[in-house]
Structure 1
Amino acid sequence: MRHRYEVVVIGAGMVGMLTALALAERDIGVLLVESSRPGGGQSGRSHGYLHQGYAYGTAEPRLPSLFARATSRWDRLAAHLTPVTERSTVAFADEAAARGAAAHWASAGLPVERVDPPAWLASRITSCFRSSESTLYLGHLLHTLGERLEKAGVHVARGEVVRTGRDGNGVTTEYTGPDGSTVPVAARVAVVAAGAGAAGVLERSGLPRVVQCRKSHMLVLRGDLPAVSAIFPEREHHGLFLASRIGPDRRTTWLISDFQSFDGTDPDSGELAGWWARRILTTLRSLAGSHTLEGVDLLSGYAATKSGLLPQSGTVAHEFGREFLDGRVVVTSPSKLTLAPLAAEEAVRSVCAVLGLPPGEVDWPRLDAPPGVIPAHGQTPHELWETELAAVKSPDLVRDLPPIRVLNSLFAH
């Protein structure tokens, strides 16, 4: 059976779901194809930072204004959600680096407020600032987006796209369903919003591989820890992002990532995981006080893949979309999840141009938390990364770090 829609959206992450919803609310027939489950890729594995630009320097001078535009969209989308943390601590161990960063923030129009270092940090921290960056539990938004898509009449299909290409005045997209059968779908436009999977979709379709994939890792610490979010931007000292969640058992989980990533096409980059995790822990031990790390009783982690469009401008976050086959195939892949609403808007404009419709402004809805899972402040139900991979339980991070071979086993799953 050959199905027909006006638009096929490939990928049910934040960008794909937002794009499908905005199109459906314009009475455009949309099929959303997802290979695993909604939010099961980059969106569901994010730490939930709504970046403002504090962690990025003068090499990205336009990022603060872009983030500000994106944040205005998030303010509407997440208006009814309580952030996990309202603000983030930006900490430095070098006073000269702190002065340079503060000067950059002031020139970029970012609010700068110097504060005393909180008690959970190590004594070597010389300067602290409070940023306007909040963190969200994206699981609520993904869940509610799914409900809104169903109400808007978006059809969702489970399957892996094996090809999309020009067919007359439109495109044909073929996907393999759970039963192994191949389903062809005719549409006027296909939107590739598959995140890390977009590179494979493009390659199988004979289209340019304009999506770059980078492997990264997230370290997970759990225990009696303070609920905080923090940024350590000193890259020469291995800068870190730290975000918190509080589970139903009242234990706090820290998700820790850094500024490092590896070529996603390199099959050996996974062997770097143990080295990377030990470097993270070494850095964290110099930044967090020993009295804080004594509360850690579980160490875990997972490997992830980031994606973004290969930049034409020479910077990493300024392109939101590419068009192929006279605009019949639109590829969208923002390098930062914060920019997802802007990327979706760009995709909607591209689709409307092909369909001959006025793009107008996207009136993003307010996404309420789903009934029955609205948490108390700071509490969240389980997220995708909370699968127990605990190769090291009750780690003694204060006196001795686990060996690299043990850390590597965390990511062998």
Structure 2
Amino acid sequence: MVTPAGGGAGERIRWPGVVVVGAGVTGLLVTERLRRSGVPVLLVEQRGLGAGQTGHCHGYLHRGYIYRRLGASQQSALAGCADWWGRRLARAGGESFVGGESVIGFTGDEEREETLAAWTSLGMPWKEVRVPGLAGTTGTFAVPEATVSPRAAVRAVAGIAESTPRVHGRAVLPRLSGRTVSELGILTDEGTTTVSAPAYVLAAGLGTPGLLGPWARALGMRTRLSYMLVVRSGRDLPGAFCLPADSAQGLFVASRPAGRDRVYLLSTFVNFWPSAEDEDARRSWLGAAGRVLATHVPALWDDPDARWGLYPAGKIEVDLPDEGGLPEGGVLDVGWDNAVAVLPGKFVLAPLYADRCVERLARLTDLDRLRGPSPVTPEPPIGTYGSGDSSWAAEDWEMTPLFSRAELFDGPGPARRVPAPSQWKEIDRWSA
């Protein structure tokens, strides 16, 4: 880890550039953009690079196929970001890509025809395919939505962050002087470190409401809880597929290689609004997910050798007018003169959010005044996925304990309860 001078209990750091709180995909891309333009960046991260939401997401490079009320501008934004990822990852090489297309299945004729008409009107390509292992659909279609391993993808495009100075700890509510953030407290293993800087970017995922305090409530932020199933199986299923149905029948699935098997990451549209993760929410979610899997993915559900795990995935949303089914995220105006807040959205949209964040920061602060004598030279691609660099956090599926299906779905709660996440797992979360 590269750290600035100090950082222990009671230390005060005066940083000459921008402090970025949160080293998920958006925070890392913001860091890359600022450093390439010569602005010094200090990263504040409680875990490792690419942790939180980035470490638990599916890794879809969405192009808009699953959203029923998608407008042309939204589809263009998604496709533009997916193309950005494709170009950057192609130049970097390595093992970022998991699959080049996804399978979309429909559970009703009306839903299928309406969606195909929307795809056609927007010029989105698709082809009908037969998919062994799926059942109960009125048609399955291959679409060009690629999937990536999030950690490998971020390492490939934002490896510049590895040489960025950073403080390991949890940022707390900033201190204000009028409308200006004057300093930021960071809770480290040694105590509290205080950092002051000309500008700040708050990209801490689930930690963002705590950083904004009463402003979070004014913006209408709220936490939503869902779950992710982790299934290791030797069954041959599509590397990525989706049933974009209602909350009771919908399903997202992406996969990762695991020797001769594959690990499938599955989530549904069922979510909760609790103040904390609890056994009742977990049991309810598992019941709904089990019915969907038994109906539509019997090849996986009936695999006697499959091993199953589960972890919670909290998400921050903002109450804004309907935007065609896309999750709310992006750059928020919090009314501070030198700070920008970024809410997590889809992984694919991170380049767009990073660009908007830097643009808004430039309007608030004279970034030219913060630039050093020369920009950072672009670096070669970082090492291969799984190379063991401790700076980068593991994806959450790699840390999830696995059980038999009966142990996970049918056993009594106290006997088979999957361990609740430690405190750091409640930072920077979002799904898909």
- TM interval, shorter chain, is 0.7 to 0.9
CA pair 108-145 structure 1, distance change in 2 beyond 3 A: closer
| TM-score, normalised with respect to structure 2 | 0.81
CA pair 8-52 structure 1, distance change in 2 beyond 3 A: same
Q: CA deviation at 1:384?
A: 2.5
Give the structure 1 partner of residue 413 of structure 2.
405
CA pair 411-396 structure 1, distance change in 2 beyond 3 A: closer
| TM-score, normalised with respect to structure 1 | 0.84
Q: CA deviation at 1:373?
A: 4.6
Correspondence for 2:395 among 367, 383, 396: 383
Q: How many residues align?
A: 393
Q: Give the letter for the 1:342 counterpart.
A: L
Q: CA deviation at 1:170?
A: 5.2
Give the structure 1 partner of residue 366 of structure 2.
356
Correspondence for 2:113 among 99, 104, 124: 99
Comparing 266-275 and 230-239, the one that deviates more = 266-275
Write the deviation string for residues 160-192 of structure 1: whole angstroms up to 9, x where unpaired: 112324348953332334334222222121111
Distance 2:23 2:406 in 1: 37
1:340 aligns with 2:350: yes
Comparing 16-25 and 233-242, the one that deviates more = 233-242
Distance 1:169 1:283 in 2: 49
Correspondence for 1:281 among 287, 290, 297: 290
Determine helix, strand or coil for the equivalent of 2:29. helix
Give the structure 1 partner of residue 77 of structure 2.
66
Give 1:14-413 correspondences, 5 Å limit: 14-58=25-69, 62-79=73-90, 80-82=93-95, 83-115=97-129, 117-122=130-135, 124-144=136-156, 147-151=159-163, 154-167=164-177, 171-203=181-213, 208=218, 211-227=221-237, 228-235=239-246, 238-247=249-258, 249-263=259-273, 266-267=275-276, 271-290=280-299, 293-294=302-303, 296-311=305-320, 316-317=326-327, 320-357=330-367, 368=381, 370-371=383-384, 373=386, 383-390=395-402, 392-393=403-404, 395=406, 402-403=410-411, 405=413, 409-410=417-418, 412=420
Distance 1:28 1:382 in 2: 28
Distance 1:237 1:181 in 2: 46
- Identical amino acids, percent of aligned pairs: 26
Give the structure 2 partner of residue 378 of structure 1.
none
Distance 1:339 1:100 in 2: 25
Verify the 8 A CA contact 2:159 2:381 in the aligned structure 1: no
Q: CA deviation at 1:216?
A: 1.1
Determine helix, strand or coil for the equivalent of 1:344. helix
Distance 1:41 1:333 in 2: 13
Verify the 8 A CA contact 1:35 1:158 in the aligned structure 2: yes
CA pair 97-28 structure 1, distance change in 2 beyond 3 A: same
Write the deviation string for residues 193-229 of structure 1: whole angstroms up to 9, x where unpaired: 0111111111188884554321110011112122521
Verify the 8 A CA contact 1:307 1:334 in the aligned structure 2: yes
Verify the 8 A CA contact 2:27 2:203 in the aligned structure 1: yes
Q: CA deviation at 1:317?
A: 4.2
Write the deviation string for residues 123-180 of structure 1: whole angstroms up to 9, x where unpaired: x3331111110110111133446641244xx311111112324348953332334334
Distance 1:310 1:341 in 2: 23
Determine helix, strand or coil for the equivalent of 2:84. helix
Unaligned segments of structure 1, at least 5 residues? 375-380
CA-based RMSD of the aligned residues comes to 3.2
Verify the 8 A CA contact 1:76 1:365 in the aligned structure 2: no
Unaligned segments of structure 2, at least 5 residues? 1-11, 369-375, 388-392, 422-432
Distance 1:382 1:172 in 2: 34
Distance 1:317 1:291 in 2: 29
Q: CA deviation at 1:372?
A: 7.2
Q: Give the letter for the 1:119 counterpart.
A: P
Q: Give the letter for the 2:193 counterpart.
A: V
Distance 1:279 1:372 in 2: 34
Verify the 8 A CA contact 2:233 2:303 in the aligned structure 1: no
Verify the 8 A CA contact 2:203 2:344 in the aligned structure 1: no
Q: Give the letter for the 1:47 counterpart.
A: H
Distance 1:78 1:407 in 2: 44
Distance 1:126 1:306 in 2: 31
Verify the 8 A CA contact 2:59 2:149 in the aligned structure 1: yes
CA pair 48-89 structure 1, distance change in 2 beyond 3 A: same
Distance 1:162 1:109 in 2: 46
Distance 2:144 2:417 in 1: 37
